[in-house]
Amino acid sequence: MAWCTPQVEFTKEIFFPGENVTGRAWVSTKKDMSARNVEISFFGKSVTAWRTDGDRKNRPVEDKSFKKGEETYVVLKHVVWTPDDGNNTFPSGDYEWNFSFELPNECPPSFEGKFGFIRYYVSVHIDVPNWIDKKVERAITVSPIIDLNSIPGANEPLVRQIERVSEKCACIPFLGSNGNIVYTIKSPTLGYVAGDLIRVTGSIENRSSKPLSEIEAIFKRIVVYRKDMTNSLIKSHRNMSNTPDTYNSRKESYVIEEITEICEIEPGATKNFRFSFIVPPVVSTIRSSTFINVEYLVTIAADRQFCDSSEIPTLNIIVGNVPILSEGNTSLPPHIFVKSDSAQCWSHLLKPKFRYQIPYYGSDEPTKTDSEDSS
């Protein structure tokens, strides 16, 4: 029994909380087929999924299996066709159905990652008796307002001072240390949007007995995907806010940009530094989702050893999608929506391939590639 694949088309690609998601779905058949019903549904949910063993444990799960956590924001279903006879006859011809689904007023932004997603999509499901059901899904971008002007401290300077021990060999701690290194790291604001320039300044005071030869600055995104432990008999020994454990969570670390400065910081000397990073089209910081957290970090380290697992001096910044406005100004600066990461997890029913979009405030449209460096 050969069904034509149903098609879905939206009136636009980007929607905002509280709006109606509108569009149409259609299917054509050249001969009579069999079907119990046709259902068009709208889902908004976050899902985490990964394998725990085997060679594919670090690859995305494309089919709908290995689910670890799920949080639902909206589910709306409409049966748009039922048979007129008792034989489940779906007569040949062209069928088209318009749909309209209301988004909640509060919902997190669309996001696609390796081990999970926050996705809003329409599903067309044809219930075929005694055969494989015909299904297709098509996703949209939902872009809630994440206004830096309403986040306490987003417009305030960010300063951190960290004192670290310089080990002689991080792999063999009992060999002792060379002394301490004091980092002072500054950012003019806590909050940024895609297209902004992050300026990080500060100093490194070498109180150790060993010269330092390079400074490494990294701007990266950390995504933590978590398992639903609500009904688990074996509870995680870690708090949700702590470093994830490998069985009940996955951590994806993507280096957005890395800069290395060759220098010479003698013992007793202080070196000032200045680094700049452009925020690419990336999803805003996510802290409200139960199973997915997204954070952005800038790290500064001098002569970091490969085997050093100690905490790196870090600034934790906030990424929003409405920039900080000058006093008295209520107008948004010019911006465009730019495609970001493509769907990886549970993506086999998505037609066509989906990439969510991000408001970008830069002067030039960036070139964006999917996040591939993960750990």
What SS3 string covers 153-178? CCCCCEEEEEEEEEECCCCCHHHCEE
In the predicted structure, residue 85 carries a pLDDT above the cut 50:
yes
- Give CATH for domain 7-142: 2.60.40.640
Share of the chain above pLDDT 90, in %: 75
In the predicted structure, residue 238 carries a pLDDT above the cut 50:
no
For residue 227, CA distances in Å to 17, 67, 138, 344 come to 27, 8, 26, 18
In the predicted structure, residue 166 carries a pLDDT above the cut 80:
no
In the predicted structure, residue 368 carries a pLDDT above the cut 60:
no
Residue from 264, 256, 234 nearest 247 by CA: 234
* Separation CA 265–CA 205 (nearest Å): 8
In the predicted structure, residue 348 carries a pLDDT above the cut 50:
yes
Question: Which strands make up the sheet holding 7-10, listed edge to edge?
Answer: 7-10, 20-29, 93-102
Instruction: For CA atoms 341, 219, 48, 51, give the dihedral sign.
Output: positive
Predicted pLDDT at 331:
82
In the predicted structure, residue 305 carries a pLDDT above the cut 80:
no
Share of the chain above pLDDT 70, in %: 87
In this prediction the pTM is 0.89
* Separation CA 126–CA 278 (nearest Å): 46
- Section 315-324 average pLDDT: 96
- Residue 310 sits at φ, ψ, to 5 deg, of -75, 165
Predicted pLDDT at 332:
83
Largest CA distance in the chain: 89
- Give me 294's structure tokens: 């997204």
For residue 161, CA distances in Å to 158, 221, 261, 296 come to 10, 22, 20, 18
pLDDT digit string, tens, across residues 25-59: 999 999 999 999 999 999 999 999 999 887 888 89
CB-based contact 22:97 (threshold 8 Å): no
Predicted pLDDT at 170:
56
* pLDDT confidence bin for 15, thresholds 50/70/90: very high
The CATH number fitting domain 148-320, selected from 3.10.450.50, 3.40.50.740, 2.60.40.640, 1.10.287.3510: 2.60.40.640
Instruction: For CA atoms 350, 352, 358, 359, give the dihedral sign.
Output: negative
Q: Please, what's the b/e burial string for 341-363 (b: 16 or more CB within 10 A of its CB; e: otherwise)?
A: bebbbbbeebbeebbbbbbbbbe
Residue from 205, 204, 213, 209 nearest 176 by CA: 209
- Of 24-28, 258-262, 329-333, which gets the smallest average pLDDT? 329-333
* Separation CA 69–CA 110 (nearest Å): 17
Cβ neighbours of residue 253 under 8 Å, at least 6 residues apart? 220, 221, 222, 223, 373, 374, 375
In the predicted structure, residue 175 carries a pLDDT above the cut 80:
no
CA torsion 301-302-304-309 (nearest 10°) is -40
* pLDDT confidence bin for 356, thresholds 50/70/90: very high
Predicted pLDDT at 333:
87
In the predicted structure, residue 232 carries a pLDDT above the cut 80:
no
State the span(s) of the chain assigned CATH 2.60.40.640.
7-142, 148-320
Which of the listed ranges 49-53, 268-272, 329-333 does the model predict with the highest average pLDDT? Answer: 268-272
- Residue 150 sits at φ, ψ, to 5 deg, of -100, 0
Comparing 55 with 246, which gets the higher pLDDT? 55
* Separation CA 144–CA 149 (nearest Å): 14
CA within 13 Å, CB half, 37: 8
- Average pLDDT value for the chain: 89
What is the β-pairing status of strands 134-142 and 14-15?
A: parallel
